[in-house]
Amino acid sequence: MNRYMPLICMLFAVACSSGSEKLCDSGEFRDCTCLSGLEGQQTCQDDGSRWGECICTCVRDCTDRECGLDPVCGESCGECGADASCLESQCIIGTLTLVGWTTEALASVRVTVAGEDSTTTADDQGNFTLSINIGDTGDMVVMFAIGDQPGREFVELASILGDAGTLLERAGDDLQLTWQEHTGLHVTPVSTARYSALYAAGGDREPSSRVELIESEQWINGPLSTPLGGEIEHRLVKVQTLNLRLAEM
């Protein structure tokens, strides 16, 4: 019987030592991998015998998003107001369809609203249709028609349509605005001359609001005896001269 005592004692020693073995220091942290593939953290238990569960914290990414869920954590990036809906992570009041015409056949047509561009191509008669998303009724809407045919690449026509709120009002319930309802949808040498004058009246920049647009129009319609008026007149003559050259081609 005595010959088994050393073996018994050794087994007890192993059992006792394995139960008290420390895997980590109490309160210690280490990185771990979450099921989503993101990194989390584990904390060592108070007795140092094991690591706790992997705590997966998530930092949401709402870059360029006003609403909807972020692509990282699936958390909300915000809610839209009662008069707006979430479309492609942006709060949209409505989608406005513009039906216009330009003197430049087959032109590349671009509409800019709040820094966002929508594009289409005019047909061989200069007709075009495109839709824009309206996020704020105060946003200004500007349109360009750029020559896209050989020998016409230098042609760039422009038109300032005005603020989005006014355009929505003119469009009505069908949310479609035609050139019959708004002459600004005629992108021509005339609209380009007006654009150039408004640009000059605004201090070499486009009007950024309805108020600025009205003020610039007042400058244009007022006397041209001021230094600013002289600059506007100079630019109008320059645009008109270019238009005459285009007409002769």
Task: Express each pLDDT in 196-237 by its tens digit.
Answer: 999 999 999 999 999 999 999 988 887 544 544 455 555 555
- Look at residue 191 and tell me if it is in a domain: yes
Per-residue model confidence (pLDDT) at position 223: 57
> Structural domain tally of the chain?
1
- Look at residue 240 and tell me if it is in a domain: yes
- Look at residue 72 and tell me if it is in a domain: no
Give kind and range of the element (H or E) at residue 229. helix 227-248
User: Using CA atoms, how far apart are residues 132 and 141, in angstroms rounded to an integer?
Assistant: 10
Average pLDDT over residues 111-133: 96
140-177 tens-digit pLDDT:
999 999 999 898 989 999 999 999 999 999 999 999 99
Per-residue model confidence (pLDDT) at position 15: 47
Per-residue model confidence (pLDDT) at position 225: 43
- Look at residue 6 and tell me if it is in a domain: no
Task: Provide, rounded to the nearest whole percent, the portion of the chain with pLDDT above 70.
Answer: 81
- Look at residue 106 and tell me if it is in a domain: yes
- Whether 36 and 59 have beta carbons less than 8 Å apart is answered as no
Which residues span the domain enclosing 227?
Answer: 93-248
- Look at residue 223 and tell me if it is in a domain: yes
- Look at residue 87 and tell me if it is in a domain: no
12-26 tens-digit pLDDT:
444 444 455 788 988
* pLDDT confidence band for 80 (50 / 70 / 90): very high
* pLDDT confidence band for 86 (50 / 70 / 90): very high
User: Using CA atoms, how far apart are residues 218 and 82, in angstroms rounded to an integer?
Assistant: 36
- Look at residue 157 and tell me if it is in a domain: yes
